[in-house]
Amino acid sequence: MILKTKLFGKVYEFKSLREVMAKANEEKSGDKLAGIAAESAEERVAAKVVLSHITLQDLRNNPAVPYEEDEVTRIIQDGVNETICNEHKNKTVAEFREWLLDEGTTSDMIRRASRGLTSEMVAAVCKLMTNLDLIYAARKMRVSAHCNTTIGLPGTFSSRLQPNHTTDDPKGIMASVMEGLSLGCGDAVIGLNPVDDSVESVARILRSFDEFKNKWEVPTQICVLAHVTTQMEAMDKLGAPIDLMFQSIAGSQKGNEAFGLTASMLDEGRDMMLHKATSTGPNVMYFETGQGSELSSDAHNGWDQVTMEARCYGFAKRYQPFLINTVVGFIGPEYLYDSKQVIRAGLEDHFMGKLTGVPMGCDACYTNHMKADQNDIENLATLLVAAGCNYIMGVPQGDDCMLMYQCTGYHEAASLREIFGLRPIREFDQWLEKMGFSENGKLTPLAGDASVFMK
Amino acid sequence: MALVSEKDLRDIIAQVLTEMNVGQDGGSAASSGSAAKADCQTTIEDGCWDDVAAVDLRTQYLVENPVNRDAYYDLKQYAPCRLGIGKAGARYKTLPVLEFRAAHSAAQDAVFSDVDQDFVDKMGLFTVQTKCDCKDTYLTRPDLGRVLSDEAVATIKEKCKKNPKVQIYVSDGLSSAAIAANVGDVLPAIEQGLKSYGIDYGTPFFLKYGRVGAMDQVSEITGAEVTCVLIGERPGLITAESMSAYLAYKATVGMPEARRTVVSNIHKDGTIPTEAGAHIADIIKKILDAKASGTDLKL
Amino acid sequence: MKETILSVGIDIGTSTTQLIFSRLTIENLASSYMVPRIRIVDKEVTYRSEIYFTPLLSQTEIDAEKVKGIIEREYRKAGMKPEDLQTGAVIITGETARKQNANSVLASLSSMAGDFVVATAGPDLESVLSAKGAGADRISEEKRIAVANIDIGGGTSNIALFQKGSLKGTSCLDIGGRLIKVEHGRISYIYPKIQKLAERHGIRIAVGDRADESTLYRVCEHMADQLAMAVHVMEPDELHEGLYTNDGRPLTAEPKAAGLTYSGGVASCYYNGEPGNVFEYGDVGVLLARAVKNNAALKTITTYPAAETIRATVVGAGTHTTNVSGSTISYTSGKLPIKNIPVLKISEEEEQEPAMFRDAIRRKLKLYEGENGLEQVAIVFSGKYHTTFAQLQELSRTIAEGADEVIAGPHPLILVIENDIAKALGNALNVLLMRKKDIICIDGIFANDGDYIDIGEPVAQGRVVPVVTKTLIFNT
């Protein structure tokens, strides 16, 4: 492993693979905040040059957090298929990049390779990709999963209906659910971020979702995004109907601890889901991630936010999720400064998740203290569909009044489907037609009229 | 007996008006003889369009010919979000797009502009700053927003009453608009509440580019029993004027976040600022009585 | 945070006397980092008494001692003590409310009905309470329509109309099951207005006549028609107006009820079927139920099942009279509870102009000057026009001037406001009056001229007070 290169005649020497990985990143305010970013544009390129020569084996040998100290590392390393790993381990990152892009490399070949990769390898190759590379490579990879319906099949594009409410008012939430469905939103999941994460409140909302879903025979999944232990209690003690179990996750054990989470909790949660949930499965978990969360809880171990993010996907893979999405612009400008950084991060995360082998969606979003606006987020959403993203979010006109941020609106999924010739999940598509909201994949004039559900 | 409904009436009136316009247009077209010529004669008229930022989202209902208008209209009253907005193809109608952009512009201005210094001076507050040298540093370096500049430390030591029961100060946080909209009511209401309880308080001031955590250093410098910062919240699109109060008993640098008590959502459509001030005074009294704050204090 | 408060409802009606205990759950619905928002989130009836015939000394006098005995026995059976209760209502309803000794009955009960139990009555309130007990308000809200409840009791039929959950009107008619009584197979009593109704339709009945089922059923058919007229599904005849209790008013024609529920003793026959002997209860209640059920005009409106029938009023009284105030309020501790405080309402127009506000308080206070000085009153206003700090200072001065007589007097200054400003206003007044005056300043409550209110002891760590607003006590 050589950590030194010349660039424009100047010698750049890096002390560790960690330093190379951090400095090879595209510019991110979070890496600067952590004090690990390249100090100049030229140093960034020098790090990329050095990284291009690193072998996948070197990356395997240098996990971001030592094996002995971190259960996320252990889960990733122990999950590696050694036979497949051996096929790729002598490739340099540059060679691996070209192999991924090669016309002879198929979706199935990449899917197989996924089983032999660690998250550090995934992150490394991402750092050598341009935005279009990330789209081009991700486009090849399809990762589908089945809960009540199947997400991620070719020709489909889905959305999560996110009916968040400032006070969890059940009527207000249902008003939002109705309008979202009427616009073709919600085939991935109807999922609420609760204000009140008490067990009773979570169970109450799940019941109202379940009742509505059954009454109108909506072929989808329901979820309330409370802590995994709360959902378990709601299911176990109050018999709450749950299709998908949610949890925010991080790329290190310490990061997960900041979320009050351990791997065994997720094992237990998934086991309970398989025994008690209302859904068909086998994919019954839903995770959210986002670059920068490890740094914000001082759990990054000196590593960069792209690598830590890749480790989230490595960790998630163990639980065979139905949905995983990166909440890419929620964290704020100290991690992703502006729209350029958010768009880059969205494409990186989507690519890395797919290369890891998990079914990826993206909450393309921004907060009001970030230099970004709705146009930027529409750009990112469009790029993600081009990259074959499974799903995006949908909130009323992109304005989440509870989380106080903006993301994609109820109208976006339908617009993008029309532009790219895609459909919702088949059963949901048929349901939309039955309800009269769409015809041959296009919204009808009735779409957007939530009062249809008031009959 | 067939009653003419309000909607029918509206339709009839609209029809009559359309017909009147058709007549006029027909007349003018006939007299001028050329549409192109009429265009050349465009004049600037008196008049003013309605304020799109003043539209009440709850009463706005733009869906065309809904099958069950009243029922959904009633239901949507329970949600503060942008519902019943209809569509143009699979995209948004123009009015909601403009409303959204207006709300976002207010949010961005609230974040990226500074609190008007005249306002601060008029409130009788002296101004100090954290280690952030500008808004951009403030936004990207939360660590610096938690530390007072050396000059600030000296000024506070010089100007503030020592060891007060209560130290209140104001900080811009993520919304200068929140400060401008609320402090004028909240601050005197807290002070009046404290007076009514007979609790004495220190010298208030304004901290520019401050994060919540700066209150710990303020507490250490002033030696206050209770420190309270009024700080702008990160704006959403529903309002850019929401303010929070963070309170702590004998705050120290590095103490757990859980020791802070928070009162959020202070704005004219949330908790009315004056009433929030009275409530905060009440909480200050409870903190003093219990000698505890945050999760240690059961409110 | 959940907390429960216990409530009692006692209904002494024309024909029956009943009691219920219920548990109201209050909860802070706001998250811990917001200003509290405390609401009643659940209401549960925990105990229902037997249904007693109201003991009477004569046709016009309630047997207060026997009523008291009934209530005491029911308390014992429920294992409840007066001091366990935080709120509730005793109401003397229907024809009985006009009985001469109603006040003495209430007085005999107040000592043992709990510290915060209040005496209230009046046909408007009874209409509302029975409708809420029957669930008409809830049905109207869920179905998004106008629903009227007709509470057909012994002496009166109380009607309340709700549209989409909010009250649109009340009325009360002298139509009831016990307006003709039957003893030993003979008519023993006929209420004069019913006698007249029968005569108008050429039906001759007199006290002492044999109780003929078909003749009395014909009278009941005409009584049912009067109810149909009251809900505007039949054109009123010339007698209709005279049948309103105490010359009361009919419901307005709009909104028209699209749904009906029935409560009261007669309604239990309506929903549950008739007993074998139509005169089993010694009156025409069973026949009236049958007539209502068969009435063609009333059948044009959808009838919904009532949540309560014979117990609707008492359940309404026990569970639907209490509200909680806003969660940021101001009061002098030790001054609560206070009961039966008349409302002095300042109109929104008067509120907007300080001099008008001040003068309105002064002018209206004069109405409450009695032999022993000024009565205790609650000054009630919307509070919409004073929200900034400066406006509230001005408001506190206006009130201090207008209510100077109250401030100089022995009673606390009581302010009841709709808008959320009570704590700030309370502070302003305390500072202005240098904490020398007891002040009770609460918000989140709506009341009108002519109403009376009760303010209970604070609950939820002193953050809110239970409040009962009573519309038109003894509407005679």
Out of A165, A418, A451, the one facing B90 most closely (by C-beta) is: A418
Rounded CA-CA distance B183/C102 in Å is 55
In a domain, B190, yes or no: yes
| B66 plus B184 within the same structural domain | no
CA distance B214 to chain C (A): 19
Compute how many other C-beta atoms are within 10 angstroms of the C-beta atom of residue A379.
16
| B141 plus B283 within the same structural domain | yes
In this complex, do C428 and B192 lie within 8 Å of one another by their Cβ atoms? yes
Q: Which residues of B53-83 are buried (b: 16+ CB within 10 A; e: fewer)?
A: eeeebeebbebeebbbbebbbbbbebbbbbb
| B103 plus B176 within the same structural domain | no
Looking at per-residue pLDDT, the higher value among C32 and A409 belongs to A409
- In this prediction, residue B13 carries a pLDDT of 62
Percent of chain A with pLDDT over 70: 100
In a domain, B69, yes or no: yes
pLDDT over 50 (residue C155) = yes
- In this prediction, residue B8 carries a pLDDT of 66
Residues of A in contact with B140 (CB under 8 A): 29, 32-33, 333-334, 337
pLDDT in tens, A226-269: 999 999 999 999 999 999 999 999 999 999 999 999 999 999 99
- In chain B, the largest separation of any two C-alpha atoms, in whole Å, equals 85
Domain count, chain B: 2
* Lowest mean pLDDT, pick from A80-89, B8-17, C161-170: B8-17
| B230 plus B83 within the same structural domain | no
Rounded CA-CA distance C116/C113 in Å is 8
| B68 plus B139 within the same structural domain | no
Rounded CA-CA distance A16/A273 in Å is 42
In this complex, do B195 and C431 lie within 8 Å of one another by their Cβ atoms? yes
Residues of A in contact with B139 (CB under 8 A): 332-334, 369
| B278 plus B246 within the same structural domain | yes
| B204 plus B238 within the same structural domain | yes
Per-residue pLDDT of chain B (299 residues; tens, 9 = 90+): 445 566 666 666 666 556 555 444 444 444 444 555 556 788 999 999 999 999 999 999 999 999 999 999 999 999 999 999 999 999 999 999 999 999 999 999 999 999 999 999 999 999 999 999 999 999 999 999 999 999 999 999 999 999 999 999 999 999 999 999 999 999 999 999 999 899 999 999 999 999 999 999 999 999 999 999 999 999 999 999 999 999 999 999 999 999 999 999 999 988 999 999 999 999 999 999 999 999 888 77
Query: Judged by CB atoms within 8 Å, which residues 178-217 of A form the interface with C?
Result: 195-196
Query: Is residue C426 within 8 angstroms of chain B, CB to CB?
Result: yes
Percent of chain C with pLDDT over 70: 94
Place of tokens 């109050």: A238
Query: Judged by CB atoms within 8 Å, which residues 160-179 of C form the interface with B?
Result: 164
Equal fold, C2-120+317-322 vs C136-306: yes
Name every residue whose Cβ is closer than 8 Å to that of residue B47 and which is 6 or more positions away in sequence: none
- In this prediction, residue C99 carries a pLDDT of 59
pLDDT over 70 (residue C112) = no
In a domain, B135, yes or no: yes
In this complex, do B104 and A406 lie within 8 Å of one another by their Cβ atoms? yes
In a domain, B206, yes or no: yes
- In this prediction, residue C5 carries a pLDDT of 87
In this complex, do B92 and A397 lie within 8 Å of one another by their Cβ atoms? yes
ipTM of the complex: 0.94
Q: Closest by alpha carbon to A224, among A312, A163, A151, A147? A: A163
**C50-57 CB contacts, 8 Å cutoff, 24+ apart:** C50/C18, C50/C74, C51/C16, C51/C17, C51/C18, C51/C310, C51/C311, C52/C16, C52/C17, C52/C18, C53/C15, C53/C16, C53/C17, C54/C12, C54/C13, C54/C14, C54/C15, C54/C16, C54/C17, C54/C96, C55/C17
Q: Closest by alpha carbon to A108, among A313, A316, A357, A353? A: A357
Find the mean pLDDT for residues C278-284: 92
Residues of A in contact with B52 (CB under 8 A): none
Name every residue whose Cβ is closer than 8 Å to that of residue C43 and which is 6 or more positions away in sequence: C22, C23, C24, C25, C319, C320
Residues of A in contact with B111 (CB under 8 A): 368-369
| B83 plus B190 within the same structural domain | no
Residues of B in contact with C427 (CB under 8 A): 189, 192-193, 196, 278, 281
Q: Of B84, B112, B140, at which residue does a domain stop?
A: B112
Domain locations in chain C?
A: 2-120+317-322, 136-306, 328-459
- In this prediction, residue B29 carries a pLDDT of 43
Find the mean pLDDT for residues C201-228: 95
Out of A33, A171, A183, the one facing B140 most closely (by C-beta) is: A33
Rounded CA-CA distance C405/C407 in Å is 5
- In this prediction, residue A165 carries a pLDDT of 94
Query: Judged by CB atoms within 8 Å, which residues 276-295 of B form the interface with C?
Result: 276-279, 281-282
In a domain, B71, yes or no: yes
Residue B202 belongs to domain spanning: 117-296
Residues of A in contact with C29 (CB under 8 A): 167, 196
For chain B, list the contacting chains (3+ Cβ pairs, <8 Å): A, C
- In this prediction, residue B39 carries a pLDDT of 60
Residues of B in contact with C426 (CB under 8 A): 278
Output the six-digit token pair for C109: 């009960």
Residues of B in contact with C389 (CB under 8 A): 184-185, 188-189, 192, 273-274, 277
| C-alpha R_g of chain B | 27
Output the six-digit token pair for B18: 């359309």
| B241 plus B102 within the same structural domain | no
Q: What is the CATH number of domain C136-306?
A: 3.30.420.40
Find the mean pLDDT for residues A446-450: 98
pLDDT over 90 (residue A162) = yes
In a domain, B26, yes or no: no
In this complex, do C29 and A167 lie within 8 Å of one another by their Cβ atoms? yes
- In this prediction, residue B15 carries a pLDDT of 66
Nearest residue of chain B to residue A177 (CA atoms): B83
The CATH number of the domain holding residue B286 is: 3.40.50.11240
In this complex, do C387 and B184 lie within 8 Å of one another by their Cβ atoms? no
| B108 plus B126 within the same structural domain | no
In a domain, B47, yes or no: no
The CATH number of the domain holding residue B80 is: 1.10.30.40
Query: Is residue B74 within 8 angstroms of chain C, CB to CB?
Result: yes
Nearest residue of chain B to residue A31 (CA atoms): B140
- In this prediction, residue C282 carries a pLDDT of 92
Residues of C in contact with A454 (CB under 8 A): 144
CA distances from C320 to C21, C141, C475 (A): 12, 16, 20
Rounded CA-CA distance C358/C396 in Å is 11
Residue C226 near residue C152, CB atoms below 8 Å: no
Q: What is the mean pLDDT of chain C?
A: 89
Nearest residue of chain C to residue B70 (CA atoms): C144
In this complex, do A171 and B63 lie within 8 Å of one another by their Cβ atoms? no
CA distance C405 to chain B (A): 23
| DSSP for A373-435, written as a single string | -HHHHHHHHHHHHHTT-SEEEEBGGGEETTTTEE--BHHHHHHHHHHHT-B--HHHHHHHHHH
- In this prediction, residue B27 carries a pLDDT of 43
Out of A33, A175, A455, the one facing B68 most closely (by C-beta) is: A455
Q: Of B65, B88, B112, at which residue does a domain stop?
A: B112
Out of B72, B83, B142, the one facing A396 most closely (by C-beta) is: B83
Cα C257 off chain centre by: 21
In this complex, do B68 and A175 lie within 8 Å of one another by their Cβ atoms? no
pLDDT grade for A319, boundaries at 50, 70 and 90:
very high
CA distance A180 to chain B (A): 9
pTM (predicted TM-score): 0.85
| B249 plus B271 within the same structural domain | yes
In this complex, do A399 and B237 lie within 8 Å of one another by their Cβ atoms? yes
- Best of C28, C37, C392, C437 to substitute, by most chain B Cβ atoms within 10 angstroms, is C392
Chains A, C: CB contacts under 8 A, how many?
6
Residues of A in contact with B91 (CB under 8 A): 411, 415
In a domain, B280, yes or no: yes
CA distance C427 to chain B (A): 6
Q: What is the CATH number of domain C2-120+317-322?
A: 3.30.420.40
CA distance C159 to chain B (A): 25
Residues of A in contact with B80 (CB under 8 A): 165-166, 172, 401
Residues of A in contact with B143 (CB under 8 A): 33
Nearest residue of chain C to residue A194 (CA atoms): C31
Find the mean pLDDT for residues C222-251: 93
Find the mean pLDDT for residues C115-129: 71
Residues of B in contact with A334 (CB under 8 A): 139-142
In this complex, do B282 and C423 lie within 8 Å of one another by their Cβ atoms? yes
| B145 plus B263 within the same structural domain | yes
| DSSP for A222-252, written as a single string | EEE---HHHHHHHHHTT----S-EEEE--SS
Count the helices and strands in chain C (H runs, E runs).
14, 25
Nearest residue of chain A to residue B76 (CA atoms): A175
